């Protein structure tokens, strides 16, 4: 028997970066909100410091979800071979599944995209094989929402030290984190090269903020929950605030399977299955999908109906297209002395000199020093090409170099392409008998060219800092997604080449909105989360304004 839950003004699917923000904004404005999350709460006490199940590389399982029992995806390689993959397989392209999603365990870098990140097409022109486009909105339109995200969720930083930072009205609410020993060496070197180093803005408390303490600099930060709750995600900021309004009900272990629609083309609610395998229908006037750039298009594609035979919002076949992450690249160096960061999480210094305006290059990336390398991760990566991966020489390398290794990495902005995509599988189903996401695609040569350019800059930086041996890390040509997945329901003014309008409203369906990484037209030369949060504020602002003007959609 299907349980019909009490009607809500709005239902939000997914409590991650985008969904958490929307739940708070709508419930504060007085709407009755139901927030549905497939995962549960993920606390430090239940997980601790276990690298093998942490969210960075999860070799055994992803503690912050999803689990290996009920979830599957299909990964397609460049030759077209299909493989069924579990969430802790890299090819699954996992982010997380819990209250707060990736924002519980993230590294918490808090970037605003630059002006050019919103105008990639007019800045760089037509790129062969790419669907590159400008965003329908400018940096200036998103600026107030960035500011709100920084103050409500909490960011420590100082843009005055970054001459490439886009204009802002208010400074960051907390002072920046100090540099570590390693970062001081890098800072000096960057300056001698004429670069402009500055402290990485972080969604982490440098001083007590919003009734939570300052960071205690543990080593196990990125990939883990914070032991003192000094890392700011949606699970310890906007979501508790939403619940405190009395207008928002969070339901965990609620797996949404369909968006429901009526014959006149309005969305009526969602179908979900609870922990006891009980089916529910949650009806609502407004439906907001914030299930991530893989799961939001999957939901739309799995919700076929008479008016939308190819999936909701998919009249022109754009749902699931343009999947992007970042073409991560950089360089690693070995130093004569031990520069190891005992102060976690380690990444503190960045340069934005090469995000744009690189002659002959499309886009670029911010460059940062890497977070502390965890022991298991260090056993496989971070060594010169051709190094022994086991045996006596491997162990000697570990002993000799762990403390002397410094890495620089940059998230190269990918130019989107139509063939990198999320579809739904026609043969593989999950525990709830729903077709799973099928992920296929590739990076364009243009991305690899940019990555080589950026890796060269990273190498020069390490050499100037005194590294005795330096080597580059260049990404492969496979599709990316994972933690930085985005782009699969891009916003735009033309319904024939985008999925939502400039407010995140699905073109065909007046009361169906998207607020997550899917909206990104391009993914910036930076980590994406602050932009996703800012979009959450923007989409909410629009909904609230309409609602208060009497629009019941």
Ligand X SMILES: Cc1cc2nc3c(=O)[nH]c(=O)nc-3n(C[C@H](O)[C@H](O)[C@H](O)COP(=O)(O)OP(=O)(O)OC[C@H]3O[C@@H](n4cnc5c(N)ncnc54)[C@H](O)[C@@H]3O)c2cc1C
Within positions 326 to 385, which residues make up the interface with another protein, using CB under 8 A? Answer: 338, 340, 375-376, 378-380
Binding mask 290-329 for ligand X (x = CB under 6 A): xxxx-x---x------------------------------
Residue 52 touches another protein, criterion: CB under 8 A: yes
User: Using CB distances below 5 to 8 A depending on partner kind, what does residue 56 bind out of another protein, ligand X, none?
Assistant: ligand X
Residue 61 touches another protein, criterion: CB under 8 A: yes
Q: Which stretch binds another protein (CB under 8 A): 111-119, 276-284, 388-396, 528-536?
A: 388-396
Residue 222 touches ligand X, criterion: CB under 6 A: yes
Count the neighbouring beta carbons within 10 Å of the beta carbon of residue 522: 28
Nearer to ligand X, 243 or 464 (CB): 243
Q: Which stretch binds ligand X (CB under 6 A): 138-146, 151-159, 301-309, 521-529?
A: 521-529
CB closest to ligand X, residue no:
16
Using the structure block, give the residue that is written with the tokens 């989409």.
539
Nearer to ligand X, 127 or 506 (CB): 506
Within positions 474 to 493, which residues make up the interface with ligand X, using CB under 6 A? Answer: 483-484
Which element (helix H / strand E) includes 198? strand 198-199
Within positions 245 to 284, which residues make up the interface with ligand X, using CB under 6 A? Answer: 254-256
User: Using CB distances below 5 to 8 A depending on partner kind, what does residue 14 bind out of another protein, ligand X, none?
Assistant: ligand X
User: Using CB distances below 5 to 8 A depending on partner kind, what does residue 379 bind out of ligand X, another protein, none?
Assistant: another protein
User: Using CB distances below 5 to 8 A depending on partner kind, what does residue 527 bind out of ligand X, another protein, none?
Assistant: ligand X
Residue 71 touches ligand X, criterion: CB under 6 A: no
Binding mask 99-138 for ligand X (x = CB under 6 A): --xxx-xxxxx-----------------------------
Residue from 122, 138, 161, 398 that binds another protein (CB under 8 A)? 398
Nearest to 365 by CA among 473, 519, 463, 482: 473
Nearest to 142 by CA among 106, 172, 166, 124: 166
What is the C-alpha separation between 192 and 365, in angstroms, rounded? 20
> Distance from CA of residue 126 to its chain's centroid?
26
Q: In sequence order, what DSSP letters do the residues of 325-346 get, joined into one string?
A: --EEEEEEEE-SS-----SSS-
Nearer to ligand X, 19 or 173 (CB): 19
User: Using CB distances below 5 to 8 A depending on partner kind, what does residue 492 bind out of ligand X, another protein, none?
Assistant: none
User: Using CB distances below 5 to 8 A depending on partner kind, what does residue 528 bind out of another protein, ligand X, none?
Assistant: ligand X
User: Using CB distances below 5 to 8 A depending on partner kind, what does residue 109 bind out of ligand X, another protein, none?
Assistant: ligand X
Nearest to 326 by CA among 177, 197, 475: 475
What is the C-alpha separation between 44 and 131, in angstroms, rounded? 41
Residue 227 touches another protein, criterion: CB under 8 A: no
Residue from 7, 40, 41, 51 that binds another protein (CB under 8 A)? 51
Structure tokens at 412: 């190269």
Q: How far is the CB of 45 from another protein (least distance, A)?
A: 14
Binding mask 4-33 for ligand X (x = CB under 6 A): ---------xxxxxxx--------------
Q: How far is the CB of 173 from another protein (least distance, A)?
A: 33
Count the neighbouring beta carbons within 10 Å of the beta carbon of residue 61: 15
What is the C-alpha separation between 287 and 291, in angstroms, rounded? 12
Residues 6+ apart with CB under 8 A from 453: 354, 358, 361, 364
Residue 529 touches ligand X, criterion: CB under 6 A: yes
Size of the site for ligand X (CB under 6 A): 43
Q: Which stretch binds ligand X (CB under 6 A): 93-101, 209-217, 277-285, 490-498?
A: 93-101
What is the C-alpha separation between 194 and 213, in angstroms, rounded? 37
Tell me the Cα Rg of the chain: 22
> Distance from CA of residue 152 to its chain's centroid?
19
Reduced to 3 states (helix: H, G, I; strand: E, B; else coil), residue 248 is strand
Nearest to 372 by CA among 397, 394, 340: 340
Name the H helices within 340-442. 375-378, 391-401
What is the C-alpha separation between 266 and 456, in angstroms, rounded? 52
Phi and psi at residue 434, to the nearest 5°? -100, 140
Q: How far is the CB of 207 from ligand X (least distance, A)?
A: 20
Strand-pair partners of 368: 350, 409
Q: How far is the CB of 361 from ligand X (least distance, A)?
A: 23
Nearer to another protein, 124 or 402 (CB): 402
Residue from 394, 449, 452, 460 that binds another protein (CB under 8 A)? 394
DSSP β-ladder status, 267-273 and 279-289: antiparallel
Within positions 11 to 50, which residues make up the interface with another protein, using CB under 8 A? Answer: 49-50
Q: How far is the CB of 49 from ligand X (least distance, A)?
A: 14
Q: Which stretch binds ligand X (CB under 6 A): 285-293, 325-333, 390-398, 545-553?
A: 285-293
How are the residues of the chain apportioned to helix, strand and coil, as percentages rounded to the nearest 5?
25, 20, 55
What is the C-alpha separation between 505 and 498, in angstroms, rounded? 11
Strand-pair partners of 10: 33, 286
Q: How far is the CB of 199 from another protein (least distance, A)?
A: 25
Strand-pair partners of 109: 202
Count the neighbouring beta carbons within 10 Å of the beta carbon of residue 118: 24
**Number of residues that make up the chain:** 553
Q: Which stretch binds another protein (CB under 8 A): 173-181, 344-352, 386-394, 534-542?
A: 386-394
Strand-pair partners of 121: none
Count the neighbouring beta carbons within 10 Å of the beta carbon of residue 318: 24
Q: Which residues bind ligand X (CB under 6 A)?
A: 13-19, 36-39, 55-56, 95-97, 101-103, 105-109, 222-223, 254-256, 290-293, 295, 299, 483-484, 516-517, 527-529, 532
Q: Which residues bind another protein (CB under 8 A)?
A: 49-53, 59-61, 68, 219, 338, 340, 375-376, 378-380, 389-392, 394-395, 398-399, 402-403
């Amino acid at each position: 028997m299907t349980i019909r839950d009490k009607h809500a003004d709005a239902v939000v699917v997914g409590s991650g970066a985008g969904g958490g923000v929307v739940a708070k904004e709508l419930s504060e404005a007085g709407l009755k909100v139901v927030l549905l999350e497939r995962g549960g709460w993920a606390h430090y006490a239940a997980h601790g410091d276990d690298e093998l199940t942490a969210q960075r590389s999860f070799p055994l399982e992803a503690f912050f979800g999803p689990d290996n029992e009920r979830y599957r995806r299909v990964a397609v390689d460049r030759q077209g071979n299909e493989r069924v993959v579990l969430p802790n397989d890299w090819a699954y392209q996992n982010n997380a599944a819990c209250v707060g999603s990736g924002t519980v365990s993230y590294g918490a870098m808090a970037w605003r995209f630059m002006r050019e990140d919103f105008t990639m097409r007019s800045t760089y022109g037509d790129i062969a094989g790419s669907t590159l486009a400008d965003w329908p909105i400018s940096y200036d339109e998103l600026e107030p929402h960035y500011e709100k995200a920084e103050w409500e969720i909490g960011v420590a930083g100082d843009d005055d030290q970054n001459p490439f930072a886009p204009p802002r009205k208010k400074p960051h609410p907390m002072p920046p984190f100090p540099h570590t020993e390693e970062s001081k060496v890098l800072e000096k070197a960057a300056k001698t090269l004429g670069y402009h180093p500055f402290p990485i803005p972080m969604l982490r408390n440098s001083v007590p903020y919003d009734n939570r303490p300052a960071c205690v600099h543990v080593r196990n930060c990125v990939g883990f929950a914070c032991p003192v709750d000094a890392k700011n995600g949606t699970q310890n900021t906007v979501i508790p605030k939403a619940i405190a309004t009395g207008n928002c009900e969070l339901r965990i272990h609620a797996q949404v399977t369909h968006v429901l629609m009526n014959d006149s083309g309005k969305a009526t609610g969602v179908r979900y299955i609870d922990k006891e395998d009980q089916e529910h229908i949650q009806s609502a006037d407004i439906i907001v999908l914030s299930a991530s750039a893989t799961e939001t298009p999957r939901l739309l594609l799995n919700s076929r109906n008479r008016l939308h035979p190819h999936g909701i919002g998919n009249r022109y076949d754009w749902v699931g297209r343009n999947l992007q992450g970042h073409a991560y690249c950089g360089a690693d160096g070995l130093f004569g002395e031990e520069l190891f960061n005992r102060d976690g999480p380690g990444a503190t210094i960045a340069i934005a000199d090469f995000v744009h305006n690189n002659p002959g290059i499309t886009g670029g990336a911010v460059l940062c020093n890497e977070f502390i390398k965890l022991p298991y991760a260090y056993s496989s990566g971070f060594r010169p090409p051709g190094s022994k991966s086991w045996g006596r020489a491997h162990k000697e390398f570990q002993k000799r170099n762990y403390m002397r290794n410094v890495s620089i990495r940059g998230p190269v902005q990918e130019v989107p392409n139509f063939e990198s995509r999320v579809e739904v599988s026609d043969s593989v189903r999950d525990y709830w008998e729903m077709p799973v996401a099928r992920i296929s695609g590739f990076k364009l040569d243009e991305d690899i060219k940019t990555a080589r350019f950026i890796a060269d800059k990273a190498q020069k930086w390490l050499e100037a800092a005194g590294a005795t041996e330096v080597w580059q890390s260049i990404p492969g040509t496979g599709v990316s997604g994972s933690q930085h997945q985005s782009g699969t329901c891009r916003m735009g003014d033309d319904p024939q080449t985008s999925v939502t309008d400039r407010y995140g409203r699905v073109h065909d369906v007046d009361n169906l909105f998207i607020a997550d990484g899917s909206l990104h037209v391009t993914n910036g030369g930076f980590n994406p989360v602050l932009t996703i949060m800012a979009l959450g504020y923007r989409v909410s602002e629009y909904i609230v304004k309409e609602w208060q003007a009497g629009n019941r959609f």
